[in-house]
Structure 1
Amino acid sequence: MRKTNETYDVVVCGGGLAGFCAAVSAARHGAKTCLVQDRPVFGGNSSSEIRVTPHGAAAFHAYARESGIVSELLIEERARNHEEIFENGWTNSVWDMTMYDMAMNTPNLVFHLNTSIFDVIKDERRHIQAIVGRVGGAETEITIAGKVFIDCTGDGIVADLAGCEWRMGSEGRSEFNEYHAPELASKDTMGNSIHFRARDMGRPVPFRAPDWAVKHEDASYFYEDGREPKELRGGYWWLEIGVPWDTIHDAEDIRHELTRHTLGVWDWIKNKDPKLRDKAANFALDWIGQVPGKRESRRIMGQYLMTEHDPAGLTVFPDEIAFGGWFLDLHTPGGLLAAHSEPASAENYTQTSEYAVKSYCGPYGIPLRILIAKDTDNLMMAGRNVSVTHAALGTVRVMSTTALMGQAAGIAAWEAIERNIAVAKVPEQEQAVFAVQQKLLRDGCFLPNYRNEDPADLARSARVMASSEARCYGLGPFSTGAHEGLSVWRDQNHRTKDDRLHTARSQWIAVGVSSSADGNAAGGAEIRSLSVCLSSHAPDAQTLRARIVPVDHIWDYQTDAYPALAETELLVPPGDNQWIDWKVELTEQNGLAAGRYVRLELSANPEVEWHKAGAIEPGHVAAMDIGMGRMRRYDNGVTLSFKVDPPQACYGASNTVSGVTRPHAYTNVWRSDPREPLDQWLELEWDEPQRIGQVELTFPGHLLREYHAYSPFYRDAQCPKSYSIQIWEEGRWRTLHQEPDNYQRHRRHRLAEQTATTRLRIAVHATNGDPSAAIYEVRCYE
């Protein structure tokens, strides 16, 4: 056995999305970083070995997709990959290579694949000195020393070997009074899964299950117990088993049982299912996974234990470093061996049941303290092994959320090293927490309760103006867009779904800001009238209660928190596609606030349809009432048909220095007038010359919906494709950087020379399809 020794600043153990983002983040900030992964590929559950597609907050909230490193990866994968995204089982090696390519192109990062950790070296001071790993197939043992260690192994292997306290199983309801906790504590966990993939061969293909496969004869097992095989191609998350086995030590037994069950499920579909047997005639198995994907095992106790009350109650943490928005998704222990696979699926994902309403949460902030082990001074964790209860794990465990925690852990580790303090001390120092938050924001991440306050960002002191600015007029059911490749943006020339008002529904509308001559906000707000496009299917006129209420942001789902600015009853005569007008006459004098959102609400009436618009108005979202004083996103992230007069000036140039890089409390984006041809430009101006050596840009795109919505070779239409960075010099504009073929949303450009100037322009020459040039944020640094 060959033995080697290596030393680094940061050692990340586990190469799933959490660990990968932690390692890349630390390395990018200057830490000498080592990433240790026990598989031959990066990605963990998302890799081509397991093929669970990353989920996150955008599954439930419009404009809530995770940004930062995970966004870079997913945008790059979509731009490169010929394969469509289809739930579980369809990830191919292009994704593995996208991650491998980023690792190879990251300075300061060294990685060891196929390396399993089996020992931890500690001193007497609660301090980890090194981990010891063995390289599979290479007869090599590596001892890796470091200053900070980040356990992203999922099972908490490093923390366990280091003697840290951990929990496994579920807390009883009495411990934290969590709605989703069982009455009694238990060791039961959510199960492991394997996936399969099937292909249409274009001709009948027989299938005969081996004798050792599970035999199914009862249709109710699938169609009444939350296991409906909705797709012939695969993607069945409910191919899951945990109890009575231990998800760590019995993983191989679980894998074998899952293989038996998967073949049995396919045998049912191909040969017995009365609904699918004929449809499945031409389908053949293409792949069956043999590496189990885990949902739950050890949870390492940290400086704070996050309970379900935090995401459900939107706790604001001073050390917020990430966000989540998946629902409190707790699979039934036992999986395929239980009565049903998940309470939500057993309810057929009903959106308005008590269970559904109390499971829906976010977007919510996540604190740094759940990433720091309480029993050592230099161990962090990110992923599904963080310091949360079993109930809270139901929401933070999804991969896009864990990726954000990983990126934050990498930055916090390096911040501790730079400040020469133990990482356990970072949450205690306000300036250290501020630095971590500001670095995350600068690196393209989003924090719900914090914004850019970087004192080094020269753009924050600039006046901002633009060649033109779009206005919001509203959209109708037959409006069209230019966002081919994303189903919700694709041109739509007819209604495709019943939009009856079975429950109350709301549309967010951004209130415009009038501009002064220099392009900056000058105040003023006015909405004279609103119109909505409705169809009534009743033989007589129907009435709807209409209200306009102020809201804090686009995810403000409270239904009764604010008094109405205006309310009325709308009369809707029988007929289709009618524009119903309301003279609201709102101004600042009666409470309308510029630079904020209001919510237009219509009451329930199942005889009336409020039609979706045929396109998306950027930053304008819709929601539906789900009861218990709450709303949730309507459909998959759409704009409802409305018109506003006067058109709202809500896409001004000053939005690019708001400090927020997505729609939230406001649109936060500059969009040029789509009626004006490109080139269009955004300009920053200072009274005194500024020395600028680096320009950082955040563009629109890849925020509205989850990764699953995006087609092969996708490049978001809203994202500028060709642009240049120019400075004003000796009475003319001089180009310092030209970008010819962009599709990423976050770009950082170190200029060839540091230049003193009073004016800087970003000129957009072409987009990837949208008629408007658009930018969320510009930053400038010396």
Structure 2
Amino acid sequence: MIKRGTGEKQCFPLERIEADLIITGGGMSGVCCAITAARQGLKVVLVQDRSVLGGNASSEVRLWILGATSHMGNNNRWAREGGVVDEILVENTYRNPEGNPIIFDAILLDKVVSEPNIRLLLNTAVYDVQKKDAETIELLKAYCSQSQSSYELKAQLFCDASGDGVVGFLSGAAFRMGAESKEEFGELFAPDKSYGELLGHSLYFYSKDVGKPVKFIPPSFALDDITKIPRFRSFNAKEYGCKLWWIEYGGRMDTVHDTEKIKWELWKIVYGVWDHIKNSGLFPEAENLTLEWVGMIPGKRESRRFEGDYMLVQQDIVEQRKHDDAVAFGGWSIDLHPSDGVYSNLPGCNQWHSKGIYQIPYRCLYSKNISNLFLAGRIISASHVAFGSSRVMATAAYLAQAVAVAAAVCKENNCLPAALVSGKRIGIVQQKLLASGQYIPGVEAIEKNDLLQEAIITASSELHLQAMPENGGLKSLDLAVAQLIPFEAGDIPAVNFHAVAEEATTLEVEIRVSSKAGNFTPDESKQRFSFPLQPGRNCIAVKPAAAIKESQYVFILLHKNPMIKVYRSDLRITGILSVFNTVNPDVSNYGKQEATGGIGVDSFEFWCPQRRPEGHNLAFQLARPVTSFGAANVVNGIARPSTRPNAWVADFSDERPALKLQWKEAKEIKRLQLSFDTDFDHPMESVLMTHPETAMPFCIRNYKVYDDRGNLIYEKKDNYQTRNEIIFNDVIKTNSIVVEVEHPSRNIPAAIFEVRAYRD
């Protein structure tokens, strides 16, 4: 049918949608919030003003997702974020180990559209907020440019995950832009006087080798003098994408309303850089390279920060302060950039690390003056200094997952966000988060509905680790190395190992621990030894006269000496790790952090793992075995290594490793949850970088579940995910469950972090 205009004024079609939670912003925060909320039973509308999901992680910007793991360049062991953001990163590593941003787009879309409780509105921008009263949002008005459709989106609860805080801004939520003064919060890293400068935007490019010479004629707007960029000598033909994160601009402008002006300056820089690479004659290796892709929108770092009932500050990060309402953690450095960005003579960033991960309180995640508005992503309630750490995508997404669960508890209790802080409600939020795979340091999972809380847990075997065999070759002590071993409280046992010396020399060995439980910064020395070595193989017997007061990891530390080699082991075991006093300039790690100028941060050494296939454990023998791998760990409430492995690990010799969960009387079971080891130490950068495996080597791939009569009630093959939820078609009535697993490989024993069982 042909449609014709009538000559009268027309209106775009209007659709009114009601939901439990309206989320504005489809970056990683919005995506993880929407999926988590949908799985909590909420009806969700996810509004995204772009054509793809992922925000800065999408193919439109192409920044890798990072959080507390920080490229494995800090002392935060086993610190990758859990829940949905972990699920997405694990999925991407499995499907897309090459880091193709287009594939990552598809993975995000797949995850969102697979949730029936989510209504996704792409290319749809929120432009107005209608309020019931001064403190309450009633609905949002939005417009889709592609379909010329208008929407009115109504809910009891709203979440702003838009990056620039469009809903918060339009609703009148209290916000800040710029840096607070040192005086306001007592932050020693803050400036003496507040100022309005911000972190700028970045825009990336990709190059491609086409196998024949390619010429490049720059556009008229390209930067014509590359020396205007003080770091121009750093440009080369090999780096592209977010490796060039320091192509940054706009920190002295309004990073919301001046975004288009900032983008044009970044285009000018990018095309000028490529002109320099192609036409300066300094890079003959670029002859066959073409400019494959340039970003059309910049990746934003900082704009508005909204005020909640608590504002995260520098001291929360550095001192690792405890909060009763903790719902997540951070661990990226305090990472602030010069306002002039790429035109600055200063280093591109100023990263200051803390000694470990830190709690983030729930009070940072809702507006203090708009009663039904949650805050998610980089706009949460944080000072400018603290924002330097909390702003990164994995941390932001983790916080958004906490918002989703809080929204579900609000609905259950017919209350608003601030009402969850008092009484037992915040405990309910925390336990629901833990049940969804979220790790909250210092908070243990104790869920009354979990049937395993009253079960007897036994195993076919439990690893008693007394030795790591010398089957991994020799490793030179070009870097100092430490073997992390979890010991129970009491005397530290003797450790024996062999070292090979090229000539007569001395090996320095030290026993260290972290001064703070749960940290992996070895800042407390228990004892130091000097061993004179003769050329050839030497037997080293370390006999500590030291003890630890509580269960924790102990560092058996071998100081640098390139004339010495030590034996490595091919065995890799959940919760056992070697670390090195290494350098990682990408995160301002130069072996040791030297605090300067009274800026309120600590000085300490960095001890970091190496990426596989490197990073082998040392070969050693203990006077008594490590017995921290018992079956009871699967119900201890912590599903990753912390002060101990927190996993059941089977013995290598066990041919059919199995857990048995038994009750005194038959139980009706509808759901089982299993948590496996997908190596929480591996950052799983989402784009640009590649990964050594698609499935993590510690992860159990194949397992079977049996009832008390030996009936096979579930079987899984080729698992690679951290968490498996098994939902039976019919309720299973049984007085025992047996989970039989296979060892991932001959060098890696089977391990399970957590098992939960539910009636519904």
Q: Is the 8 A contact 1:553 1:666 kept in 2?
A: no
Counterpart CA distance in 1 for 2:318 and 2:208 is: 40
Counterpart CA distance in 1 for 2:177 and 2:393 is: 20
CA deviations 1:419-456 (Å, max 9, x no partner) are 01111211123x11111111111111111110111111
Residue 66 in 1 paired to residue 66 in 2?
A: no
Name the aligned partner's letter for residue 348 of structure 2: E
Q: Name the residue aligned to 1:671.
A: 649
1:379 and 1:229, CA in 2 relative to 1: closer, same or farther beyond 3 A?
Answer: farther
DSSP 3-state at the match of 2:701: strand
Counterpart CA distance in 2 for 1:317 and 1:533 is: 45
Alignment equivalent of 1:208, drawn from 212, 217, 229? 217
DSSP 3-state at the match of 1:762: strand
Residue 775 in 1 paired to residue 755 in 2?
A: no
1:479 and 1:631, CA in 2 relative to 1: closer, same or farther beyond 3 A?
Answer: farther
Q: Name the residue aligned to 2:495.
A: 530
Counterpart CA distance in 2 for 1:230 and 1:462 is: 60
Alignment equivalent of 1:5, drawn from 16, 20, 40? 16
Shift of 1:711: 2.8
Q: Which runs of 5+ in 1 are unaligned?
A: 86-90, 345-355, 481-492, 513-523
1:411 and 1:616, CA in 2 relative to 1: closer, same or farther beyond 3 A?
Answer: same
Q: Is the 8 A contact 1:697 1:746 kept in 2?
A: yes
Q: Is the 8 A contact 1:212 1:260 kept in 2?
A: yes
Residue 571 in 1 paired to residue 536 in 2?
A: no
DSSP 3-state at the match of 2:708: strand
Q: Is the 8 A contact 1:549 1:600 kept in 2?
A: no
1:232 and 1:651, CA in 2 relative to 1: closer, same or farther beyond 3 A?
Answer: same
CA deviations 1:336-362 (Å, max 9, x no partner) are 122235244xxxxxxxxxxx6x44453
Name the aligned partner's letter for residue 245 of structure 2: W
Name the aligned partner's letter for residue 627 of structure 2: A
Q: Is the 8 A contact 2:509 2:528 kept in 1?
A: yes
DSSP 3-state at the match of 1:438: helix
- The TM-score normalised by the length of structure 2 is 0.88
Alignment equivalent of 1:755, drawn from 723, 726, 732? 732
Counterpart CA distance in 2 for 1:575 and 1:554 is: 39
Counterpart CA distance in 2 for 1:388 and 1:756 is: 49
Alignment equivalent of 2:541, drawn from 557, 577, 581? 581
CA deviations 1:503-541 (Å, max 9, x no partner) are xx64321126xxxxxxxxxxx97764213555667x653
DSSP 3-state at the match of 1:686: strand
Q: Name the residue aligned to 1:351.
A: none
DSSP 3-state at the match of 2:152: strand
CA deviations 1:287-339 (Å, max 9, x no partner) are 11111110000001111011111111101111111111111111111211222
1:568 and 1:80, CA in 2 relative to 1: closer, same or farther beyond 3 A?
Answer: closer
Q: Is the 8 A contact 1:222 1:229 kept in 2?
A: no
Q: Is the 8 A contact 1:327 1:361 kept in 2?
A: no
Residue 77 in 1 paired to residue 89 in 2?
A: no
Shift of 1:239: 1.4
Residue 414 in 1 paired to residue 370 in 2?
A: no
Computed over aligned residues only, the root mean square deviation of the Cα atoms, in angstroms, reads 2.8
Name the aligned partner's letter for residue 280 of structure 2: K
1:727 and 1:208, CA in 2 relative to 1: closer, same or farther beyond 3 A?
Answer: same
DSSP 3-state at the match of 2:244: coil
Shift of 1:636: 3.5
Counterpart CA distance in 1 for 2:336 and 2:193 is: 16
CA deviations 1:639-669 (Å, max 9, x no partner) are 6525132332332212211211111011011
Q: Is the 8 A contact 1:722 1:742 kept in 2?
A: yes
Alignment equivalent of 1:17, drawn from 28, 39, 64? 28
Shift of 1:264: 1.3
Q: Is the 8 A contact 2:573 2:748 kept in 1?
A: no
DSSP 3-state at the match of 1:138: coil
Q: Name the residue aligned to 1:686.
A: 663
Counterpart CA distance in 2 for 1:233 and 1:611 is: 38
Q: Is the 8 A contact 1:474 1:641 kept in 2?
A: no
Q: Is the 8 A contact 1:196 1:285 kept in 2?
A: yes
Name the aligned partner's letter for residue 530 of structure 1: V
Counterpart CA distance in 1 for 2:474 and 2:221 is: 51
Residue 695 in 1 paired to residue 672 in 2?
A: yes
Shift of 1:374: 0.3
Alignment equivalent of 2:451, drawn from 448, 451, 458? 458
Q: Name the residue aligned to 1:194.
A: 203
Q: Is the 8 A contact 2:514 2:521 kept in 1?
A: no
Residue 253 in 1 paired to residue 261 in 2?
A: yes
Of all paired residues, the percent bearing the same amino acid is 30
Deviates more, 1:142-151 or 1:633-642: 633-642
1:479 and 1:320, CA in 2 relative to 1: closer, same or farther beyond 3 A?
Answer: farther
1:619 and 1:551, CA in 2 relative to 1: closer, same or farther beyond 3 A?
Answer: farther
Name the aligned partner's letter for residue 411 of structure 2: I
Q: Name the residue aligned to 2:375.
A: 381
Alignment equivalent of 1:302, drawn from 293, 301, 308? 308
Q: Name the residue aligned to 2:177.
A: 168
Counterpart CA distance in 1 for 2:333 and 2:177 is: 21
Q: Is the 8 A contact 1:66 1:446 kept in 2?
A: yes
Shift of 1:119: 0.5
Alignment equivalent of 1:714, drawn from 684, 689, 694? 694
Residue 106 in 1 paired to residue 115 in 2?
A: yes
Name the aligned partner's letter for residue 494 of structure 2: S
Name the aligned partner's letter for residue 25 of structure 1: T
Q: Which runs of 5+ in 2 are unaligned?
A: 1-11, 582-590, 595-601
DSSP 3-state at the match of 1:39: coil
Counterpart CA distance in 2 for 1:175 and 1:79 is: 46
Name the aligned partner's letter for residue 651 of structure 1: F
Q: How many residues align?
A: 718
Counterpart CA distance in 1 for 2:84 and 2:722 is: 11
Q: Name the residue aligned to 2:238.
A: 231
Shift of 1:712: 8.0
Deviates more, 1:332-341 or 1:134-143: 332-341
1:392 and 1:452, CA in 2 relative to 1: closer, same or farther beyond 3 A?
Answer: same
Counterpart CA distance in 2 for 1:693 and 1:592 is: 43
Residue 316 in 1 paired to residue 319 in 2?
A: no
Q: Name the residue aligned to 1:516.
A: none
Name the aligned partner's letter for residue 79 of structure 2: A
Counterpart CA distance in 2 for 1:200 and 1:475 is: 45
Within 5 Å, which residues of 2 pair with 1:408-557?
408-429=402-423, 431-475=424-468, 479-480=471-472, 495=475, 499-501=478-480, 506-511=482-487, 528-532=493-497, 534=499, 540-542=504-506, 544=508, 546-547=510-511, 549=513, 553=517, 555-557=519-521
1:686 and 1:675, CA in 2 relative to 1: closer, same or farther beyond 3 A?
Answer: same
Q: Is the 8 A contact 2:327 2:440 kept in 1?
A: yes
Residue 337 in 1 paired to residue 343 in 2?
A: yes
